[in-house]
Amino acid sequence: MSNYKEACRRELEHLVEREAHLDAALLCSVDGLPVAYASSIQIEADALSAMCSSMLSLGDALAIQGGDDTCIQVVTQSRGRTVALIHAGKDMLLGLMGSRELKLGMLLGHARKEVEVIVELINQSHHETKQSEKAKKPAERQPALLEELVKRVMQEAQER
């Protein structure tokens, strides 16, 4: 699990390094816990994750009231900075914080592209975890389901 977190952190670091006016990038779970982040400014990742999650949930609730399934992005503009929030798969969200020099279209574009990369990294990590689980000897495997455990016990009993 931590593999994808490290990969995501590296990816976010590259993004913040690449884009001069992008100050911070934060990936967090939908329940408001930080997963990975990179920033050129000081941010309180824990508190900010909770607020980002709350904002996107409210955005979704508001979009539903207007007849949509979810909102695509939430944007907040302050005097100094612009924050863009976007869903990253089913369980996570990405927040990008840019200075006012970074145009809104660019910020939203970065958010969309970055989400694609992050979802790919997460899927890749899940795939690798499954592969390594399959490669293990049956005795070393973690029982994924009760059904699988019962099958294994039955098989071992028959072999005896």
Sheet holding 22-29, edge to edge: 34-39, 22-29, 92-99, 81-88
Which residue of 6, 10, 20, 61 would you call a contact of other proteins, by CB under 8 A?
Answer: 61
**5 or 81: CB nearest other proteins:** 81
Which residue of 5, 21, 81, 152 would you call a contact of other proteins, by CB under 8 A?
Answer: 81
CB of 104 to other proteins, least distance (A): 8
Which residue of 35, 38, 43, 96 would you call a contact of other proteins, by CB under 8 A?
Answer: 43
**Dist CA 19 CA 28 (whole Å):** 21
- CA 146 vs CA 11, 127, 130, 143: distances in Å: 37, 22, 17, 7
Which residue of 78, 131, 142, 158 would you call a contact of other proteins, by CB under 8 A?
Answer: 78
Which residue of 97, 102, 107, 122 would you call a contact of other proteins, by CB under 8 A?
Answer: 97
CB of 125 to other proteins, least distance (A): 28
Which residue of 10, 20, 54, 149 would you call a contact of other proteins, by CB under 8 A?
Answer: 54
Element (H, E) at 150: helix 146-159
77 binds other proteins (CB under 8 A): yes
**66 or 138: CB nearest other proteins:** 66
**Dist CA 43 CA 23 (whole Å):** 10
**Dist CA 18 CA 40 (whole Å):** 12
108 binds other proteins (CB under 8 A): yes
- Do residues 30 and 91 lie in contact, with contact meaning Cβ atoms separated by under 8 Å? yes
Tell me, by CB under 8 A, how many residues bind other proteins.
32
75 binds other proteins (CB under 8 A): yes
In degrees to the nearest 10, what's the CA dihedral of 77, 107, 52, 24? -100
